[in-house]
Amino acid sequence: MILKASQRGGGGELARHLLRLDQNEHVEVHELRGFVADDLRGAFQEAYALSKGTRCRQFLFSLSLNPPQTADVPEKAFKDAIRTVEKELGLIGQPRAIVFHEKEGRRHAHCVWSRIKADTMTAVNLPHFKMKLRDISRALYVKHNWRMPEGLVDQRDRSSLNFTREQWQQAKRAGLDPKTIKSLFQQSWAASDSLASFSRALEEKGFWLAQGDRRGFVAVDFRGEVYSVARTVGTPTKTVNARLGDSAKLPSVEQVKATITQKMTEAIRADIRTAERAFAEQSTGLALKRREVVSQQRAERQKLKEQQEQRRVRETKERAARLHTGMRGLWQRFTGRYGKIKRENEQQAQQARLRDQGEKESLIAKQLADRRTLQRDIREAKSAYDQNMKELYRDVAQLTQTQGQQQTPVQEPSRSAAEKERPPIQLNADRTSENTRSEGRGRRREPK
């Protein structure tokens, strides 16, 4: 279970993020502990109001708990992990909120604590919390017998294909998976040792080097998207400059965009539009199916919740009826029956809670399995589209390279030493102008 956390403020923004149903298939506010408010926004507002009595600006500690993609993790496992984090970080007894998210067939949880201690009006100090969370995460993988990610075993083996939100949005506009873009850049970087070789390697994949606004190295694709070389490769800017040299030798971004636009044919544009339209139609169908599945699952959960509530009320009344009042109640107490029945009622109530929790967990596991099947279809469609777009990027690169070769001016044959020493023939001005115009037209004409 990967644990990621941060100290932060902005309770209102965090509450909106945690309650977003447009980005999550299911959202459940599982617990609000230590707050007067009974909703998430109100709870975070309380934490903010309390923090105003201190100098603490990052009054919240937000933790996300992400188990492996296909693991069916019960609520108890999440809460056990949360209790371990509380103990190790000194957050025991602090007000907290637990929210469960389900997205793309995967279930994960968020826990947010208030760092402010109400009795002392001080903030809980959290030194080295990232290192402590890393150790807890490793222990959870061992405890649940999950396959531990290589980056968690050794930080030096962390994936180089991680990307920022900005890179994800840029890749989405480009029609490629962000990991694919990073991989293409890193392959080109690993296979080159100079500006010329790196430029050729990128162009073969459909990207062209240019000079950025700050004289840095950037790459441009045929859509006009601009990528920072250092950020996309994952290499410090100094290292990039040391290998590639001076970016002033390269054309500007606008010049590269103009060149690409000029060389792209209508045929390749039509192929791109066809691929995008086919993927859009397929994605629309899968998105509609996903909405139908999620809507049906929400209805099933609501129905189960109502049934369990009705049964809970009925069983509570039945248990309460066993404890008599008046003279019969006094007789139960006198004979010791009252305490025995009360203990039996508590045991039955606990068993009923476990039964209801088991029913809920079974339904969630079944629904997660259904959505994983649908998510596999979505991933396959995206993978096919991604592969198609990679080929189109290469086609654009080959097309522009071919046209560049065709448009290269033919060099004049070398003149002999005798010809060089021969004095030029004197022509009148009109004749010279006419020849000059003719030679100019000849150089601009492309060979058939």
Tell me the pLDDT tens digit for each residue of 337-379: 888 999 999 999 999 999 999 999 999 989 988 888 888 888 8
CB contact set of 356 (below 8 Å; sequence gap of 6+): 308, 312
Q: Provide the pLDDT confidence category of residue 216 given band limits of 50, 70 and 90.
A: confident
Q: What is the mean pLDDT of residues 234-252?
A: 85
Count of residues in the chain = 448
- Taking only the tens place, the pLDDT of each residue in 120-159 is 999 999 999 999 999 999 999 989 888 887 767 655 444 4
Q: Minimal CA–CA distance to 97: which of 64, 50, 141?
A: 64
Question: In the chain, what is the straight-line distance between the N-terminal and C-terminal CA atoms, in Å?
Answer: 64
Query: Do the beta carbons of residue 41 and residue 78 sit within 8 Å?
Result: no
Give percent of the chain with pLDDT exceeding 70: 80
Region 265-287: mean pLDDT is 75
Q: Return all residues near 201 (Cβ < 8 A) that are at least 6 apart.
A: 187, 188, 189, 191, 192
Q: What is the pLDDT of residue 156?
A: 46
Q: Which two tokens stand for residue 356?
A: 């209801």
